[in-house]
Structure 1
Amino acid sequence: MIKVVSKIMINSSAKQVWNVISEIQRDPYFWKGMSRVRTTSKNGNALTRQVTLANSEKCLQKVILFPIEGIHIRWTRGMITGTKDIMITQIGTQTLLEVEMNYELHGIAQVRSRSISEELRDEAELAVHLVKEEIEKTQAFPTESRKQWADMIHE
């Protein structure tokens, strides 16, 4: 069993964090171990999808979206089985983004379990940093109209 936990504080509201992470079709951008996702069925906040990993291995996931709280992902078939929980907690004006993965590896992946474990830790760290970067770079900075120095002379 591989367990990975990654956390980061984001200078934003939980709603803004949710708006980014809930666009799950963009997961390959944040999770570098995925190359493609394809939703196969959807029922309300629950969906099933096929995930193509970077090594071309195909896996199945069941995903449940909990608006503004997080996402629960169960890997059901493929070289990875287990869960990934992405949780959002508003703390004052900031939001704590946590990722917890509990995976079992199957097939040839078991042979490389130590290196895959390290890759998963790196992937989780990169993912939370990419989410933070995505959110904080898009926040509007307050601006005020500026005057030219020549305009101030005439006042």
Structure 2
Amino acid sequence: MKPRQKRLVLIVGIVAAVGVAAALVLNAFQSNLVFFYSPAQVAAKEAPVGRAFRLGGLVDGGSVQRDGLVVRFVVTDTVKSIPVRYQGILPDLFKEGKGVVAQGQLGDDGVFVAREVLAKHDENYMPPEAAEALQRAGASNQKLGETVVKETRP
């Protein structure tokens, strides 16, 4: 082979390898892609059939039923509600009226079978240690302010 032909074979080989690698990456990305749907979207049949997706909303009040490790509850977005079945240990933040995201598939019976349940907390959450530190800082600033006021007034 001439040097020119060797270069051409090398370039074609590199392009083919990059193409195969890109195809593998895109295939893996697509198979692991999980979309989020609200109960209204699921009820409108916008959610994929036979594929995993995430269902998010609020846990409907009075809907949690426990039978050992099997938990049944209803997720609502105040427009539509979807029943959910989950087998496993729920997160500590899981409560009625609080936000939840469940990942799983919609069964033929219309019940969402969750493989994973994530409890959402509101944006006002603060770790106890941080709250205590802020409280102490606020108390010391308040005392400091009183001291400054007393010292500046005759």
TM-score by length of 1: 0.34
Higher alpha-carbon Rg: 2
> When you count helix as a share of all residues, which structure comes out higher?
2
TM-score by length of 2: 0.34
Q: Which has the higher contact order (CA 8 A, sep 6+)?
A: 1
